[in-house]
Structure 1
């Protein structure tokens, strides 16, 4: 880094946080923990904060918010650091790190769970599994509860029970002025509306209370087809989705198999189309509901099997491991017609990295689509199809060609894209166009709420909603 930042490193006085009663860990440049503490899921992100404050409770968070505000320093908030745009860390500022805040409390009789902001979805569902219960968020277990919920919260139960934020009962929030408040349907209702989709723009959410549901054992897995049959397989899945029961959340994927000696030779490193997900109902009913999907082709591999829900939560983890360079692009689709499928399959044939995965998701005719558009800041429930291109690569020198390929694919899909995007899937370089795509007509209301709770825009390391007074 530059000498200027090094000078700033010497000038910051973190002892003031200790004097204010901060009880967690303070990590600064030169600390042997520093590089690990500033590393996030996407290793293309290489930012150097002046201070990482690992908080142990909401009081620590409040003290750190006030410290950053008084020092006029940039402030980032890290739950698990999973967001591909790297919002969890900043240059030359302070990071509020919630990774020590992992308390989880299950109330099995009320069917609720309260989880602190440092938890991931795997940890939450591990806590729920002994009770035969499951929470709605997350396709991947290491995804953070906080970031996913604040932007939306798709997961394996979305068609049966909706988004994570649809099931949020209440939240504890530290505001820009250091106050800790609660948000719910009867307390700070405007703030509660805004955090359900508006991201981290309004404060630091230190704990979340969710409704949870019976889902002890589910039918989960994937069938694989050769890439040469990908278009036909995706079209077949699309048609089946029109009649799929709500218990079924299935997506279509294009990926490369690992070059694993334990695999049959024909599958090692092979490009494939996968149709996979979860049936969250009685297993015998799932066997009937998914029979046509599993028999079509027939597939190269059928990996569907009954399993505990917390294992299903982890079944896709290997497709998105930490430690890679990444760049994502996403959009809802007007529909999934044959021409759009052809564009995606053709582009995948030329993908520059075997670590890239393309996912087409379907949420329609389900609990997700029955929530009123005005109920939360999350929007665009009228578009049931979504594509997310999760480009990933190992060598930093391959960035340019992977980013170019991703953008070319999304440009080719322009005729089929809806004027809408899911904020958690944005890559971080979309600017105001990304905000408009994510929030549409709700952006004005969000800006007004932002002005009420964070008029100085302290919480701006995110897809930033500018306070109305500044807009």
Structure 2
């Protein structure tokens, strides 16, 4: 009880000391009294509300370091924000009272060796990164849902917690293309991390950067821009049984027949249509030779008279990236999401898939006030560049996964409050999979972070015991005082689990 009281008193006392330090700095600082504070502290996911102690806008790594020193001396937790497409609002602290270091002023991009090596500061938007790569005829694997968005930049979390995209099975994750990082540490030092310098820190950055420092730039090995990419979409209609049969065919094809250039996703939405969606790095003719047998399997049980469609088109790389954005990006949402990843050696059984589809087709229509989807990405199979990386080479655990599920529901108008039954609906999706015999082999993807996971649960689902224990030792070396802390952050080996500030999850 005394410990909790001391923590509470420290929480009240620290912001004043922090603000005194911050107001002496030469770059923009937003305090709670600032007129712009409230809009600057709105989370992308409006289900969540947090109140930072301050928000700062440095323009250089040296200015980032000054802000970190202010917070460290005041015992105030520090988080970095770059972009806004956050699931758990950890970029606002994930709790009240954090210092938010906004990286939008760090926009530098440089190339070496004719574009083969890219140095990109972390305030860049993904669209800006893609345009810079286009100028030298190069490319990188990365996500597309936030590409060219007005709210999402080139966030440290996206790059260092995975950075999965349709090209990842051939090219690897974005973090697998990383060969170096520049970080501001808890004591304000600016250091480089790579396989040659501060190797243990570089290992931790590639899977859990936010707990170790503020990444101000990353260095990547780029790839030649592919001459042609085929984007595709095949939509089907039917019932729970036909959806299950299509999914089982998708899973079997993923495990046995999908070549690395094929990026693939099974997607189901509230109108209960289901889609095979993705891209193939190569010409349309080669794509159709590989993929049309799966389409034919799904057509066997679907309603071919329901107005569904088929689309496959060759594109240049830039046009393909733009095509993936679709409709104008949202500037906010109000949602709850969960992630599950299946083992490469333990596919979902027919019984589990049928139960899952029955749940969606029976429970989904009971929630017309929710905008929801189920997205299942292909990660693995032999030949996948993701799974080819040895498990302990980075702090990213998932080198043995086949499929990745994202289970997602928004309020109907994308505004708060989030409907109370939305939690049970999404949790129910996950429960069908987790309760199955193969559920013990499931894991979760940290870029689809779920703040409602318990302490031991997220540690195991994101990292697993061996990687998490090693991360705690690295944390003790580089941030023993736990300056970079947030819910689901790595804690030093010496710190007892569960100590810290109150976490607010607005339900």
TM-score of the aligned structures, taking structure 2 as reference length? 0.83
Write the distance in 2 (CA, Å) between the matches of 1:293 and 1:139: 24
Q: Is the 8 A contact 1:129 1:310 kept in 2?
A: yes
* 1:43 alignment partner, one of 46, 54, 67: 46
2:252 match? 239
What do the CA deviations read for 1:131-186 (whole angstroms, capped 9, x no partner)? 33221121322454411122122112110011111110100011111000001110
1:363 match? 379
Offset of residue 391 of structure 1? 1.9
* 1:218 alignment partner, one of 214, 229, 235: 229
What do the CA deviations read for 1:406-437 (whole angstroms, capped 9, x no partner)? 11221121123324222222311212211122
Q: Is the 8 A contact 2:22 2:67 kept in 1?
A: yes
Q: Is the 8 A contact 1:225 1:233 kept in 2?
A: no
Is 1:209 the counterpart of 2:215 in the alignment? no
Offset of residue 316 of structure 1? 4.7
Offset of residue 235 of structure 1? 2.2
1:267 match? none
Write the distance in 1 (CA, Å) between the matches of 2:245 and 2:479: 50
Q: Is the 8 A contact 1:54 1:96 kept in 2?
A: yes
Is 1:252 the counterpart of 2:287 in the alignment? no
Is 1:301 the counterpart of 2:309 in the alignment? yes
- How do 1:113-192 residues align onto structure 2 when only pairs under 5 Å count? 113-140=118-145, 141=147, 142=149, 144-192=154-202
Write the distance in 1 (CA, Å) between the matches of 2:35 and 2:312: 44
Offset of residue 99 of structure 1? 1.7
Write the distance in 2 (CA, Å) between the matches of 1:39 and 1:157: 33
1:428 match? 451
1:259 match? none
| Partner SS for 1:159 | helix
Is 1:437 the counterpart of 2:469 in the alignment? no
| Partner SS for 2:483 | coil
Provide closer, same or farther for how the CA distance between residues 470 and 103 of structure 1 changes in structure 2, counting only shifts above 3 A.
same
Write the distance in 2 (CA, Å) between the matches of 1:103 and 1:293: 44
Q: Is the 8 A contact 2:339 2:444 kept in 1?
A: yes
Offset of residue 38 of structure 1? 1.3
Offset of residue 329 of structure 1? 0.9
Offset of residue 279 of structure 1? 0.8
RMSD: 2.6
Provide closer, same or farther for how the CA distance between residues 276 and 470 of structure 1 changes in structure 2, counting only shifts above 3 A.
same
Provide closer, same or farther for how the CA distance between residues 5 and 456 of structure 1 changes in structure 2, counting only shifts above 3 A.
closer
Is 1:347 the counterpart of 2:367 in the alignment? no
Q: Is the 8 A contact 2:160 2:205 kept in 1?
A: yes
| Partner SS for 2:91 | coil
| Partner SS for 1:396 | coil
Provide closer, same or farther for how the CA distance between residues 106 and 288 of structure 1 changes in structure 2, counting only shifts above 3 A.
farther
TM-score of the aligned structures, taking structure 1 as reference length? 0.89
Provide closer, same or farther for how the CA distance between residues 110 and 444 of structure 1 changes in structure 2, counting only shifts above 3 A.
same
| Partner SS for 1:303 | strand
What do the CA deviations read for 1:21-70 (whole angstroms, capped 9, x no partner)? x4432122343432332123211121121211012111111111111111
| Partner SS for 1:463 | coil
1:265 match? none
| Partner SS for 1:170 | strand
1:57 match? 60
1:84 match? 87
Provide closer, same or farther for how the CA distance between residues 105 and 290 of structure 1 changes in structure 2, counting only shifts above 3 A.
farther
Provide closer, same or farther for how the CA distance between residues 180 and 238 of structure 1 changes in structure 2, counting only shifts above 3 A.
same
> Greater CA deviation, 24-33 or 377-386?
24-33
Offset of residue 106 of structure 1? 3.7
Structure 1 residues without counterparts, runs of 5 or longer: 257-269
| Partner SS for 2:398 | coil
| Partner SS for 1:313 | helix
Write the distance in 1 (CA, Å) between the matches of 2:422 and 2:130: 34
